[in-house]
C-alpha cells in the first residue's frame, strides 16, 4: 500500500468539508499550494483568505493563483495569522468551513523565519471563533527543525484541552512515530 503524505491527508480531510461557494482560510500561505487547493474547492462563488507575514510568500501565491485564474476569489493578507479574528469580516465569523495551517518556515527561504508557538496558539483560538458548525481545522506541524518541537508540543497540548463535547481532535504521525516526525492535527467543530 503506497504511503500517503500528511499534506495529502490534510487535503483529503478538507475535501470532505469544503465545497463550491464556501469560505476557507489559509493561515500560513507559504508558496501558495494550500491557498490554490482551497480556491479550487471553493471556486469563483466562494472566498479564501490567506495570511502570511512574508511579502515574498504572498507574491509567490499570487502568481500561482493567477496561473490558474483564481486570484479573484482569494484575499491575501500580509499580516500574522494571530489576527485572523480581527481581519476576517465580522459577517463571516461562524461561516468559515475550513482552516489550514502548515507550520514551520517558508520552503526555499530563510529558515530562521518560522511560525512561533505564541502566535500560532492565538491563531488557533481565532480560527475557532470564525469556524462554522461542522467546520474543520488542519494543522501540519514539524518538530524536526529548530523551534518546531516546542511549537508542535504546544499545538498538541492546545488540542488536548479542547472541550470534547464541542470538538473532535485526531493526530496523525509522519513516516514513523519518531519525536522528529511531522504531525497532522485535525480539529472539527461538532455543532
Which domains does the chain carry? 6-189 (3.40.50.150)
Residue that has been written with the C-alpha cell 526555499 in this structure:
108
Would you state the pLDDT for residue 105?
A: 59
Kindly list the averaged pLDDT for each block of 10 residues, start to end, along the chain of length 191. 75 96 95 95 96 91 95 95 95 97 70 68 95 96 72 89 94 75 91 78
Would you state the pLDDT for residue 1?
A: 40
| Prediction pTM value | 0.92
Would you state the pLDDT for residue 35?
A: 97
Would you state the pLDDT for residue 168?
A: 95
Would you state the pLDDT for residue 141?
A: 85
Q: In what order do the strands lie in the sheet with 167-173?
A: 74-78, 47-52, 23-26, 96-102, 131-141, 183-189, 167-173
185 vs 28: CA distance, rounded Å: 15
User: Who contacts 19 (Cβ-Cβ below 8 Å, separation ≥6)?
Assistant: 41, 42, 97
Tell me which residue of 174, 29, 183 sits closest to 115, measured CA to CA: 29
Amino acid at each position: 500500500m503506497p504511503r500517503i503524505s500528511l499534506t495529502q491527508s490534510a487535503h483529503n480531510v478538507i475535501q470532505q468539508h469544503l465545497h463550491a461557494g464556501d469560505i476557507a482560510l489559509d493561515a500560513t500561505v507559504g508558496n501558495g499550494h494550500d491557498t490554490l487547493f482551497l480556491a479550487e474547492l471553493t471556486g469563483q462563488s466562494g472566498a479564501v483568505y490567506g495570511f502570511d507575514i512574508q511579502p515574498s510568500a504572498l507574491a509567490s501565491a499570487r502568481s500561482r493563483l493567477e496561473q490558474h485564474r483564481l486570484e479573484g476569489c482569494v484575499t491575501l493578507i500580509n499580516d500574522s495569522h494571530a489576527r485572523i479574528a480581527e481581519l476576517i469580516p465580522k459577517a463571516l465569523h461562524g461561516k468559515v468551513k475550513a482552516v489550514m495551517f502548515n507550520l514551520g518556515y517558508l520552503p526555499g527561504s530563510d529558515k530562521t523565519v518560522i511560525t512561533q508557538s505564541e502566535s500560532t496558539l492565538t491563531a488557533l483560538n481565532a480560527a475557532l471563533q470564525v469556524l462554522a458548525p461542522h467546520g474543520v481545522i488542519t494543522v501540519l506541524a514539524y518538530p524536526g527543525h529548530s523551534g518546531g518541537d516546542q511549537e508542535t508540543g504546544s499545538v498538541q497540548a492546545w488540542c488536548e484541552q479542547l472541550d470534547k463535547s464541542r470538538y473532535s481532535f485526531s493526530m496523525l504521525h509522519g513516516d514513523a512515530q519518531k519525536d522528529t516526525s511531522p504531525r497532522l492535527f485535525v480539529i472539527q467543530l461538532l455543532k
